[in-house]
Structure 1
Amino acid sequence: MLKIWGRGNSTNVKKVLWCAGELGLPFEHVNAGGAFGVVNDSEYRAMNPNGLVPCIKDGDFVLWESNAIVRYLAAKYSNGTFFPTDPTVRADADKWMDWATSSIAAPFRDVFWNVVRLPADQRNDAAFRKGLEDCTRLLSIADKALAGQPFLSGAQFGMGDIPLGCFAYSWFGMPIERPALPYLKAWYDRLAARPAYQTAVMIPLT
């Protein structure tokens, strides 16, 4: 059985839990990282020397890095639906996966931590405002793309929607001023109607 390590409130872990849920895979989930510990245990470090989450074990195969895990699960278990067989379509989905990680993750962290995780006396308003400005600019790129297609993956939901979809729940759930990005919001509403998204991603923000 597939085994997934990682605390459920981690954006990167949510990607994997959501993907597994969409694929209908039976799996064992082990909370790890943060207050749960585990990641510094020698057994875990033998699997993931980075000491980070998520990490999976599928049979004898061990894999870390959230986007790589999503791609692996989609390629192995989706019968070409979440992991397109057409290289051009697949590259378009890949693009959005890596974009969410390389472009959105850092400014989003500055927003999320200064709204949700840090106590009021430790918050950095300048970092929050810069993060909000950058996220707004970047998310407008996704909004423009979604004006012409229902999902970042194309005509159908797929792996390309998963990384940004995990950020989207927090983006629309935080008490912040957001610009009107109607196509992004409509896409998020489509995700929010998916049972696997509700289970893995739409949990209290912590």
Structure 2
Amino acid sequence: MLELYGKPTSINVRKVLWVLAELGLEYRHDAAGASTDAAADARLRRLNPNAQVPVLCDGDFVLWESNSICRYLAARAERADLLPQAPRERARVEQWMDWQATDLNSAWRYAFMAGVRRHPDYQDDAAAAASQAHWNRLMGVLDRQLAQTGAHVAGERFSLADIVLGLSTQRWRMTPGDKPVLSCVDAWFARLRPRAGFALHVDNGVP
């Protein structure tokens, strides 16, 4: 059986949980990283030298990095709807997944840590405002992409790009701060609501 390690409040763990729900796969979930338990930390570090979650174990195969795990699970299940096999279609999905993991995540980090986590290392109001403004600009990029496709992030069909960006959008919606009205993002987010696992792992009150 598949084993997933990682606290269920982690946005990156929730990506994988949503993919697992979409695929209807059975798995065992270990909420590693949810406590300060030294033994749990040591176990996590044995699986991932970065001691970060999520980590997926498929028998003796160990994989970390959330977007890589999502791609692996879709490919393992031969779900070309989630991760196309045609090079250009697949590249388009992966382009938006990589954008989420790099550009978008870098933009929101300060605003989120300051406004939601209230982390003591993130108390600069000007830096938080700049982070929020950058985050809003990038969400505008997503809005324009959705205006072009009229459906989902990478085109007409739901894909892994919608999963990873759906989580990021939920975080944007729940983080305090001034935000523009993005009608295409709002309509797309509403289209995601009936998906398997969405209510449990995305729109569940956790930013």
Equivalents in 1 of 2:171, 2:62: separation in Å? 29
Deviation at 1:148, TM superposition (A): 1.9
Instruction: Report runs of 4+ in structure 1 exceeding 6 Å deviation.
Output: 119-122
Paired residues for 1:1-206 under 5 Å: 1-35=1-35, 37=37, 40-41=41-42, 43-118=43-118, 123-149=123-149, 150-205=151-206
Residues 138-174 of structure 1: CA distance to partner in whole angstroms, max 9, x if unpaired? 1111111100221113111111112221111121123
- Per-residue CA deviations over 1:102-150 (Å, capped at 9, x if unaligned) read 1011221212112111169963311210111101111111111100221
Q: Which runs of 5+ in 2 are unaligned?
A: none
**Paired letter, 2:172:** W
Please tell me the root mean square deviation across aligned C-alpha atoms, in Å.
2.0
After TM superposition, the structure 1 stretch with the greater mean CA deviation from structure 2, 2-11 or 117-126, is 117-126
Where in structure 1 are there 5+ consecutive unaligned residues?
Answer: none
* Cα distance in 2 between the residues matched to 1:109 and 1:145: 22
**3-state DSSP of counterpart to 1:147:** helix
Taking a change above 3 Å as real, the CA distance of residues 193 and 82 of structure 1, as seen in their structure-2 partners, is same
Q: Is the 8 A contact 1:16 1:70 kept in 2?
A: yes
**Contact 2:32–2:44 (CA<8 Å) still a contact in 1?**
no
Q: By how many angstroms is 1:190 displaced?
A: 1.4
Could you say what secondary structure the match of 2:57 adopts? strand
Does the CA-based 8 Å contact 2:6-2:13 persist in structure 1? Answer: yes
Q: 1:117 to 1:40 in 2, by over 3 A?
A: same
Provide the C-alpha distance between the structure 1 equivalents of 2:60 and 2:195, rounded to a whole number of angstroms: 31
Q: CA deviation at 1:35?
A: 2.5
How far apart, CA to CA, are the structure 2 residues paired with 1:117 and 1:25?
32
* Identical pairs, percent: 37
Q: CA deviation at 1:87?
A: 1.0
Distance 1:36 1:76, change over 3 A: farther
Counterpart-to-counterpart distance in 2, 1:175 and 1:35: 26
Contact 1:153–1:159, Cα closer than 8 Å, also in 2: no
Alignment partners' CA distance in 1, 2:72 and 2:193 = 24
- 8 Å contact 1:110–1:127 — kept in the other structure? yes
